[in-house]
C-alpha cells in the first residue's frame, strides 16, 4: 500500500512542502454566538492542545518558520490583527469560548503578558506544525504534544499558587479540553517524506498515532480533565496543497480538473473510524469516574461543503484565497501575496486552512451540539 503514496511532482516542488505547514481542519467562525448576558456556569475554562487548527499564536514565541503573525493572516480578526492564527480570522476555540460566555478569544499560553484572569478562563498550548508522532514537530522545530502536556502541568501550578489546590482541582474538572492534531503526521511525515513509510504501513502508522493520542488523553485525565473533545481528521485528499503535491502535473495546473484525491481521504476515514472506536472504549472505561470524551466529526461537514458547495454559497473549493491557492501557507502567504477579494466564497483561506465561513459551518454542525450537551448536564 505504501507505493500508492509516492509523490508525483518534481523534487523542487516537493521541497516546497517543507515551507508549508500542514494541519487538520478544525475551526469555526461564530462572531456574536456568545450567550447574551449569561455567564455559563458549567464550563470554567477552555484548554486547547494540538496543531495550527487551534494554535492562537504560540509559535510566535518559538524559533520556527511556521508562523502566521503577519498579513494577510488575521484580515477578518478584530482590528485586522495577524495574531499567529492560521486563518483570516478566529479559530473554533475562540468562538467556543465566546459561545459559552467565558471570553472572546483564547490566547496562546506562551504569551508572557497574560494576566491570571486570562490564564484561568483558558489558553491554547497548541503549536502549528506539530503532531501526535514525536518526529513530526522536529521537522519544523515546533512544540511537541508531550511538551504541551508539560505546559499544562505548569499552568496548573500557576493556578494553584494563586487560588489553592482545591479550587484549581475543581476548576480543571469543569474545564473543557479540545484536542486537534494528526494531519501533519500523515501529510508531511508519512506521505511526503520516506522515513516513516520505511518503518510503517498505513495501517500500522494509524495505530501508532492512535496510541499517541490515547496517551495524551490519559495524561489529561490524570491531571484532572473530565470533559475532552477530540477532533478527527479532515478529508486530507481535498486539501489544496495535497491536490497540488500528489496529483499529476496536468491536473495541478488545470483548475477545472483539480479535485479531491480519494486515496488520501480514505486514509482519514479509516483513521477516524478507529479513533471513534477508541474514544468510545475510553469513555466506557472512565465514565464511572465522571469522564466525558467526545469525538468531533470534521470529515463529514467539510466534505459536504466541498461536494455541495453551491448550497453553502462557496465558489472555490480546491484552491485557497491567498496567492495561487495551490501551495501557499505560512511564509508563502505573506504581505506581498495576492489575496482574493471575498474569502467567504472560498472553503480554504490558504492551501491548508479553512476560511472563517467554513469554520462557522463546522461549528454549527459539529461543535455546538456537543457543547450544548455538556452545558445542559
Return per-residue pLDDT of the chain as tens, 377 residues. 444 565 454 433 443 443 434 333 333 333 444 343 344 668 999 999 999 999 999 999 999 999 999 999 999 999 999 999 999 999 888 889 899 999 999 999 999 999 999 999 999 999 999 999 999 999 999 999 999 999 999 999 999 999 999 999 999 999 999 999 999 999 999 999 999 999 999 999 999 999 999 999 999 999 999 999 999 999 999 999 999 999 876 566 667 678 999 999 999 999 999 999 999 999 999 988 899 999 999 999 999 999 999 999 999 999 999 999 999 999 999 999 999 999 999 999 999 999 999 988 898 889 999 999 998 87
**Distance between CA 194 and CA 26 in Å, rounded?**
27
CB 220 within 8 A of CB 149: yes
**Beta-sheet pairing, 292-296 with 46-50:** unpaired
As a whole number of angstroms, the distance between CA 314 and CA 305 comes to 8
d(CA 158, CA 135): 30
Residue 37, pLDDT score: 35
Q: Residue 256: its pLDDT value, please?
A: 67
Q: What is the pLDDT of residue 263?
A: 97
Task: Specify whether the backbone of 52 is left (phi greater than 0), alpha (psi in -120 to 50) or beta.
Answer: alpha
Residue among 17, 27, 34, 52 flagged as catalytic: 52
Report the number of distinct structural domains present in the chain. Answer: 1
Q: For residue 46, what are the β-bridge partners?
A: 122, 176
Please tell me what DSSP assigns to residue 226. Answer: -
Closest to 363 in 3D by CA, of 94, 171, 147: 94
**Cβ count within 10 A of residue 198:** 8
pLDDT at 3: 44
Q: Let me know if 255 is a catalytic residue.
A: no
171 part of the active site: no
CA 140/CA 348 separation, integer angstroms: 23
Write down the pLDDT at residue 41.
63
C-alpha cell at 370: 456537543
Nearest to 350 by CA among 59, 149, 53, 38: 53
Give the rounded distance of the alpha carbon of 33 from its chain centre: 20
**CATH number of the CATH domain containing 278:** 3.40.50.1110
Alpha-carbon dihedral 139, 143, 144, 146, rounded to 10 degrees: 160
CA torsion 355→357→361→363, rounded to 10°? 70
- Spatial separation of the C-alpha atoms in residues 176 and 229, rounded to whole Å: 8
Domain membership of residue 39 as a residue range: 2-376
Can you count the helices (H) and strands (E) in the chain? 16, 7
Residues near 67 by beta carbon (within 8 Å), at least 6 away in sequence: 59, 60, 84, 128, 330, 331
Q: State residue 224's pLDDT score.
A: 97
> Which set of grid coordinates corresponds to residue 326?
495551490
Mapped onto helix, strand or coil, the DSSP state of residue 336 is coil
Active-site entry in 17, 247, 350, 351: 350
Closest CA to 48 of 183, 221, 228: 228
User: Would you call 52 a catalytic residue per the annotation?
Assistant: yes
Amino acid at each position: 500500500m505504501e507505493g500508492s503514496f509516492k509523490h508525483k511532482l518534481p523534487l523542487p516542488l516537493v521541497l516546497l512542502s517543507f515551507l508549508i505547514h500542514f494541519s487538520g481542519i478544525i475551526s469555526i467562525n461564530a462572531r456574536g454566538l456568545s450567550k447574551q448576558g449569561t455567564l455559563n456556569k458549567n464550563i470554567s475554562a477552555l484548554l486547547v492542545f494540538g496543531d495550527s487548527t487551534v494554535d492562537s499564536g504560540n509559535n510566535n514565541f518559538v524559533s520556527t518558520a511556521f508562523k502566521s503573525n503577519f498579513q494577510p493572516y488575521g484580515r477578518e480578526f478584530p482590528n485586522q490583527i495577524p495574531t499567529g492564527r492560521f486563518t483570516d480570522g478566529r479559530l473554533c476555540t475562540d468562538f467556543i469560548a465566546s459561545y459559552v460566555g467565558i471570553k472572546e478569544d483564547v490566547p496562546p499560553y506562551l504569551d508572557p503578558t497574560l494576566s491570571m484572569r486570562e490564564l484561568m478562563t483558558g489558553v491554547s498550548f497548541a503549536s502549528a506544525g506539530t503532531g501526535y508522532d514525536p518526529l513530526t514537530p522536529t521537522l519544523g522545530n515546533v512544540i511537541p504534544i508531550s511538551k504541551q502536556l508539560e505546559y499544562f502541568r505548569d499552568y496548573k501550578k500557576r493556578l494553584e499558587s494563586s487560588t489553592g489546590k482545591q479550587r484549581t482541582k475543581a476548576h480543571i474538572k469543569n474545564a473543557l479540553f479540545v484536542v486537534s492534531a494528526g494531519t501533519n503526521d500523515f501529510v508531511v511525515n508519512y506521505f511526503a517524506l520516506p522515513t516513516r513509510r520505511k518503518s510503517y504501513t498505513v495501517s500500522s502508522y494509524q495505530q501508532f498515532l492512535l496510541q499517541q493520542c490515547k496517551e495524551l488523553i490519559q495524561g489529561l485525565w490524570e491531571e484532572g480533565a473530565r470533559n475532552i473533545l477530540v477532533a478527527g481528521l479532515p478529508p486530507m485528499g481535498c486539501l489544496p496543497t495535497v491536490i497540488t503535491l500528489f496529483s499529476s502535473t496536468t491536473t495541478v495546473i488545470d483548475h477545472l480538473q483539480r479535485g479531491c484525491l480519494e486515496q488520501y481521504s480514505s486514509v482519514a476515514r479509516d483513521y477516524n473510524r478507529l479513533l471513534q472506536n477508541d474514544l468510545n472504549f475510553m469513555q466506557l472505561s472512565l465514565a464511572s469516574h465522571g469522564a466525558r470524551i467526545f469525538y468531533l466529526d470534521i470529515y463529514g461537514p467539510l466534505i459536504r461543503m466541498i461536494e455541495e458547495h453551491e448550497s453553502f454559497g462557496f465558489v472555490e473549493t480546491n484552491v485557497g484565497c491567498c496567492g495561487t491557492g495551490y501551495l501557499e501557507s505560512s511564509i508563502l502567504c505573506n504581505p506581498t501575496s495576492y489575496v482574493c477579494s471575498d474569502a467567504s466564497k472560498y472553503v480554504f483561506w490558504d492551501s491548508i486552512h479553512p476560511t472563517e465561513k467554513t469554520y462557522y459551518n463546522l461549528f454549527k454542525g459539529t461543535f455546538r451540539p456537543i457543547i450544548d450537551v455538556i452545558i445542559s448536564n
